[in-house]
Structure 1
Amino acid sequence: MNSLKPYYPVFKFVATFGVLYLALSLAYYAYLQVEYSPVNYPDPVTALVSNQTKTGLQWLGYDAQIYNAPSNPSVVLYIDEKVVYRVIEGCNAVSVMLLFAAFVIAFAKAWKTTILYLLFGIVTIYIVNLLRLIGLGYVFQEFSSYKEIAHDIAFPAVIYGYVILLWIYWIRKPKVDDGKAN
């Protein structure tokens, strides 16, 4: 048993991460089970991301519109009255944010720093995801022959790559204990 002692921090991290991710995922699952209004369909975060994606595409000069798809829990994005893609719950990046948060909390030392980093990370993940959705709309509209590569490979690499960079920074940054150096 003593031979495992050097690995206790790793076991602690994995256990903490696993429990946190499970708890956050169950809370998110409960959130998704609520019946939301037609305005916030399929859920408020997906509705917000869809609306902001539409606005971003409109800023780029596209005639973008969104409509709820009650038969399928999603929001359909149209450009020039043509379906471009559906925004489903998985497109809102909440599950990516939960994964990020569980990792950061599992590596936490100072709560003030951790909370600030969580806020920074979640806000910037949201922004990166929004830019991802706007970029997908652009690619789907202008370069439709690349839509599978963009959707399945390039843009997931962007958002997950960004999260990995955030994690690397979190692990390697100088640890500060609420204003006191370790």
Structure 2
Amino acid sequence: MLKDFKPVLSILLRFIIIYLVLLFAYQFYLNSFQDEGLDPFSRMIAEQVRYIQNVFGYQTQLYDDVKGEQVYFYVKNQYPTRMVEGCNAISVMILFVAFVFAFYKGKKTFVFVLIGLALLYIMNVLRIIGLNIVVTDYKQYAKISHDYVFPAVIYGTVVVLWLVWIKFFALKHENS
């Protein structure tokens, strides 16, 4: 009976191991910057958001809160949002990578993961820009945007990528 579940258990075990290894590596990374404020990856995203918002006429400055491990966006004479470690989408990217590698299919797995991570990165930057615009110009939609709409954007992107991986790569037979 256990033999019937071996492929499923194998995939599940690979997912759990990859997820935990990446999660612990990320926590180690975060711990190494604990006294320096916002970690460099999150800071880089904040800088890119600032740059793009400035290009599109939303004059933006960043203000560091080292003690609070966050960066505030200053837009239109107000502080609409702040960038914290959780906004960098790394946890979502780790989940994405673990799932795709659980269904490992050789070199194309690495290519798909790199393309997927680039897409998730871009979607996350656009998500933060969108949230800054909503909170700055449409305050009445700030809570629903932050709590539901923009998380749906990033998680929806992950689900679509997973579906593409499963349908077109992971379950596709090599001879077809």
Asked if these proteins are the same fold (TM beyond 0.5), I'd say: yes
Q: 48, 55, 60: which is aligned to 2:51?
A: 55
My pick for the range that moved more, 63-72 or 4-13, is 4-13
Q: Which residue of 1 aligns with 2:88?
A: 92
Q: Looking at secondary structure, tell me which structure has more strand per residue.
A: 1
Give the whole-Å Cα distance in 1 for the aligned partners of 2:51 and 2:35: 21
Pairwise CA distance, 1:56: 1.5
My pick for the range that moved more, 59-68 or 154-163, is 59-68
CA contact (8 A) 2:19 2:98 kept: yes
Does residue 75 in structure 1 map to residue 68 in structure 2?
Answer: no
Pairwise CA distance, 1:37: 8.6
Q: Which residue of 2 aligns with 1:9?
A: 7
Q: Which residue of 2 aligns with 1:152?
A: 147
TM-score for the superposition, normalised by structure 2? 0.93
Q: Number of residue pairs matched?
A: 175
Q: Which runs of 4+ in 1 moved over 3 A?
A: 174-177
**Amino acid in the other structure paired with 1:82:** Q
Q: Which residue of 2 aligns with 1:171?
A: 166
Give the whole-Å Cα distance in 2 for the aligned partners of 1:159 and 1:69: 26
Q: 118, 122, 142: which is aligned to 1:123?
A: 118
Give the whole-Å Cα distance in 1 for the aligned partners of 2:112 and 2:151: 22
Q: Any stretches of 5+ residues in structure 1 without a counterpart?
A: none
* TM-align CA RMSD: 1.9
Q: Which residue of 2 aligns with 1:18?
A: 16
Q: Any stretches of 5+ residues in structure 2 without a counterpart?
A: none
TM-score for the superposition, normalised by structure 1? 0.90
SS in 1 for 2:5: helix
My pick for the range that moved more, 77-86 or 120-129, is 77-86
SS in 1 for 2:13: helix
Does residue 133 in structure 1 map to residue 128 in structure 2?
Answer: yes
SS in 2 for 1:158: helix
Q: After superposition, give the CA deviation of every residue in 1:78-98 in whole Å (9 maximum; x if it has no partner).
A: 102311111000101111111
CA contact (8 A) 2:105 2:169 kept: no
Q: After superposition, give the CA deviation of every residue in 1:43-94 in whole Å (9 maximum; x if it has no partner).
A: 1110000011111211221121111111201111110231111100010111
SS in 2 for 1:108: coil
Give the whole-Å Cα distance in 2 for the aligned partners of 1:172 and 1:15: 21
